[in-house]
Amino acid sequence: MKRIRPSRWSGQLLQARRGAGIPAARTPLCLAIRCQSTSSVPASDSSTLDSSSSASPPPPPLPAPSFDRAPQSAKLAALHARLSLSKKIPLQTLARALVTPSADANPNFNNANLAYLGSTIINFHVYEYLVCKWPRLPMAILYEALRAYAGDESLQQIARRWGVEAAAAPGEEVDPGLLQWKAGEGHVVNTRWGYIRSEAAKGKAWRRGLSSRVVLDSDFGDQVSSSDPERLEYNALQSEAFGSVVQAVIGAIYTHCGRDEAKAFVKSHILSRELDPSKLFQFKLPTRELAMLCAREGFEPPIARLESETGRLSRTPVYVVGIYSGKEKLGEGAGASLDVARRKASMASLKAWYLYSPGNKVRVPSDMMEQGAKPWTAPHIDIGEII
Amino acid sequence: MDLRTLLQPATQLLAPLRHLSSSSSSSSVLLPLIATRGHKTTARTKRSLKMAPHDSFLPSRSAAFPAADQIIYNPPASEASPEHTPFLFLPRNDPRRLAIMRLRNTSQLSTSASSSAGADAAAGDGELPPEMRYKRRQPKYNLTKEHIDEMRRLRAEDPLTWSVQRLARKFECSTVFVQMAAPAPEEHLRWLRAKMERKKERWGPIRTAAREDRKRRAEMLYRGEL
Amino acid sequence: MTVKALRAIADGKNGLGAFVLQCKKLDFHYCDWAGSSKGMNGFIKSLLPKFAAAHPQIEFAVSPRPGKHPVIVGHYINGRTKPICVRNLSPYEILQKVELLRDASGEKLRRTNKAVLSTKPSVRGIWSPYHGKGMAV
């Protein structure tokens, strides 16, 4: 099979080669010794093998494809072009973004560092967008909304829609344009950051409130496990591997092209995804919560009023109940019984409170980093959750 | 419809005649006969279903033609969505709040002359729908420390006679308050639980399933799936 | 604290934000000897280099398949493939087929009778008989 890549052979290839020296130059204190040139080693090996059998044995195969082969990979070049990445990002960096720690444990050759950098950038941009767009979202919903955009499952979907494919098994001979990962032992979780709590030893059921999660736990409010990391399922490991590709690509963009490019990339690939935050709510005592909200905000206590009904004596009645505070209507719901309709109306009113949005074109703090940005006007800041 | 089907063969017979005597006086008589066709295709049924917009969608024609700009306010006949934040929940500096306040002020001024739509949210008390009757918190704060001591004494003395319901009725407070202020002795609670267990054991499969379904429905309701 | 959160995943919309071309690979199979591959050979010699240079986001693979009709196979991001037999076609007719494969989304062909498919709920909501003032008939 011949592959035709005329455009790559002429211009971009040379540019990629020129940038290939960057990772080596940036890690002068690299302690790991690994042979990066695969072309010359076998030739010298075959000549010396006859003369002295006690010479150095052939080096063991690399755990992942060498980055020298990155410019020859058509898949990699196609992925580079498909994402319309800048020419400043060499193919070698993109190849490195596809090597997960499960394939190559050496941090100088896998994507762990780039992925951690990328995850911080993604989470920052998604989080500031969520907080400015829906300033009243409760903390639990905010965490799940962040996970819906930037969690591993979501990032895995993104990577798959970029056309990233996994190799059957990682190895030296594999095409560098394929994702190198395997589900097995020796797995390192590298993109989570948090404190190990003192009460973690008491088990999973023992959990503190939400506010301490902001400081102590990971970005998604998950508890960081202590000495023994929990065994992840195959699917979770897979989504983490695919997700790390997206994170590493964004880390690479930040490294080579800078802040603004990375932000534009996050905006177009991650924030452009569609999420309805009203689907995230699960209530427990909506009527009581609404009454407490009205008491806290100084509104008149909420009263349910029957707006219309039909078939009260039939098998399928419909009641439409509206919740009013004074003369103002807060929300309404329809149900097959008066109680269900009232609870639905309370939930609708609470959602109307929580899903307040200043508008679709909200400004986020990172907009101020652009050149010639307009003066900052403070966004709406909510006083907090209803306890 | 009958008349039309009867007329159609006649028009077919007359069609060649019409071609022969074009621009004659007979064509003016035949034309309406040919124009009436059956509703056979979707296009024709769709065209016949085209209706003029409702008056509320059209600008008012009370003034002469080059009148001032007008906003057509025509709220949808659908359930209110939580996407539209109610007036009360809008923060102080939100432009929507100011706009609604301005709208209400102008409509209040104009209502003196003629009643208009646009201020239905801030309707008067008489226009609000009827209140529902349901159990809600009505704090009275009528109990003192002596009352609570008395309540505890009665409950400890004879928890069977002085049930939660009965104490709540006697002291005019809620059952929740009784449960908090005067909890029953442990053995009484254990006895109640055992009684409930015995009752549950006698439930058949239908009743058990119905109870479980009800619980599941409540969870679905709170997740917004129902 | 009575609100709990449910898990969800944001839904990707290709073209809203970034657009990723769905065709990721094109396979060209030809035969040096057979007459039905005459146009395909001409296409590979004359038109393919320019087409490949214009589309760096697609991976191109050219391979012989002796004694068979020429075939172009498109591989798509959703995992499906779309093969087209191009026997006895002229190079420019083959180019049209290649452009068809490039522009395809990889989904099964389906009839659309709505100009726009929206995932957003209607602005005015679903009509309900219990709301609104009603209209005198």
pLDDT tens column, A341-358: 999 999 999 999 999 999
CA atoms of A163 and A154, how far apart (whole Å): 15
Q: Quote the tokens at residue A101.
A: 């720690």
CA atoms of B174 and B189, how far apart (whole Å): 19
Q: Within a domain: residue A115?
A: yes
Which residues are within 8 A (CB) of A373 and not within 5 positions of it... i.e. 6 or more apart?
A367
Helices of type H across A84-210 = 91-97, 112-133, 139-150, 152-161
Residues B131, A304: C-beta atoms closer than 8 Å: yes
pLDDT class of A194 with cuts at 50, 70, 90: confident
Residues A254 and A345 in one domain: no
CA–CA distances in Å: residue A107 to residues A113, A116, A250, A332:
7, 12, 18, 56
CA atoms of A376 and A249, how far apart (whole Å): 31
Residues A190 and A317 in one domain: no
Residues A281, C5: C-beta atoms closer than 8 Å: yes
Mean pLDDT of the region A151-169: 95
pLDDT class of A175 with cuts at 50, 70, 90: very high
Q: Would an 8 Å CB–CB cutoff place A281 in contact with chain B? A: yes
Q: Which residue of C has its CA nearest to B81?
A: C125
Is residue A85 scored above 80 in pLDDT? yes
Q: Which of A223, A254, A277 is the last residue of a domain?
A: A277
Check residue A185 and give its pLDDT. 64
Residues A346 and A257 in one domain: no
Residues A264 and A332 in one domain: no
Q: Within a domain: residue C46?
A: yes
- When CB atoms are compared, the residue of C8, C10, C20 closest to A82 is C20
Residues A260 and A340 in one domain: no
Mean pLDDT of the region A113-117: 94
Check residue B62 and give its pLDDT. 73
- Among A256-265, A350-359, C116-125, whose mean pLDDT is lowest? C116-125
Check residue C31 and give its pLDDT. 95
Residues A283, C60: C-beta atoms closer than 8 Å: no
CA atoms of B107 and C20, how far apart (whole Å): 51
Residues A313 and A298 in one domain: yes
- When CB atoms are compared, the residue of A283, A324, A358 closest to B222 is A283
| Burial class of residue B54 in the structure, from the number of CB atoms within 10 Å of its CB (0-12 exposed, 13-18 middle, 19+ buried) | exposed
Which residues are within 8 A (CB) of A97 and not within 5 positions of it... i.e. 6 or more apart?
A111, A114, A115, A245, A248, A249, A251, A252
Check residue A59 and give its pLDDT. 85
Cβ-Cβ contacts under 8 Å, A273 against chain C: 10-13, 17
Q: Within a domain: residue A71?
A: yes
Tell which A residues from 70 to 129 touch C, by Cβ distance under 8 Å.
74-75, 77-78, 80-84
Which residues are within 8 A (CB) of C115 and not within 5 positions of it... i.e. 6 or more apart?
none
The interface predicted TM-score (ipTM) is 0.93
Is residue A269 scored above 70 in pLDDT? yes
- When CB atoms are compared, the residue of A151, A281, A318 closest to C3 is A281
Rounded to the nearest angstrom, the minimum Cα separation between A46 and chain C is: 32
Check residue B77 and give its pLDDT. 87
Check residue B107 and give its pLDDT. 77
Residues A237 and A287 in one domain: no
Is residue A159 scored above 90 in pLDDT? yes
Residues A144 and A14 in one domain: yes
Q: Within a domain: residue A1?
A: no
Mean pLDDT by 10 residues, chain B (226 residues): 48 48 45 58 75 78 70 82 93 92 83 44 67 87 92 92 93 91 92 95 96 95 93
Choose, out of B78, B219, B220, the residue to mutate when testing the contact with C (most C CBs < 10 Å).
B78
Check residue A31 and give its pLDDT. 40
Residues A334 and A349 in one domain: yes
Q: Within a domain: residue A32?
A: no
DSSP bridge pairs for C98: none
Interface of B with A (CB under 8 A): 79-80, 82-91, 93-94, 121-125, 128-132, 134, 137, 221-224, 226
Q: Within a domain: residue C3?
A: no
Q: Quote the tokens at residue A230.
A: 């929990």
Residues A291 and A316 in one domain: yes
Which CATH number do you get for residue C98? Answer: 3.40.30.10
Residues A248 and A348 in one domain: no
Residues A106 and A253 in one domain: yes
Q: Within a domain: residue A381?
A: no
Q: Within a domain: residue A208?
A: no
Which CATH number do you get for residue A321? Answer: 3.30.160.20
Q: Residues B91, B96, B99, CA angle at the centre, nearest 5°?
A: 125
Its domain, for residue C55, covers 29-65+84-107
Which residues are within 8 A (CB) of B165 and not within 5 positions of it... i.e. 6 or more apart?
B175
Its domain, for residue A318, covers 281-354
Is residue A12 scored above 50 in pLDDT? no
Cβ-Cβ contacts under 8 Å, B77 against chain C: 127-129, 131-134
Residues B77, C132: C-beta atoms closer than 8 Å: yes
Choose, out of A133, A266, A272, A316, the residue to mutate when testing the contact with C (most C CBs < 10 Å).
A272
If residue B43 lies in a helix (H) or strand (E), which one and from where to where? helix B42-49
CA atoms of B168 and B175, how far apart (whole Å): 5
Residue C18, classed as helix, strand or coil, is coil
Q: Within a domain: residue C98?
A: yes
State how many domains chain C has.
1
The phi and psi torsions of A2 (rounded to 5 degrees) equal -105, 145
Q: Within a domain: residue C19?
A: no
Cβ-Cβ contacts under 8 Å, A336 against chain C: none
Cβ neighbours of B80 (radius 10 Å) = 23
Which CATH number do you get for residue A239? Answer: 1.10.1520.10
Q: Quote the tokens at residue A80.
A: 């580079």
Check residue B139 and give its pLDDT. 82
Report the half-sphere exposure of A319 (CA within 13 A, side-chain side).
Answer: 24
Is residue A200 scored above 90 in pLDDT? no
State how many domains chain A has.
2
C81-93 confidence digits (pLDDT tens):
999 999 999 999 9
Residues B132, A338: C-beta atoms closer than 8 Å: yes
Check residue A187 and give its pLDDT. 57
Q: Within a domain: residue C92?
A: yes
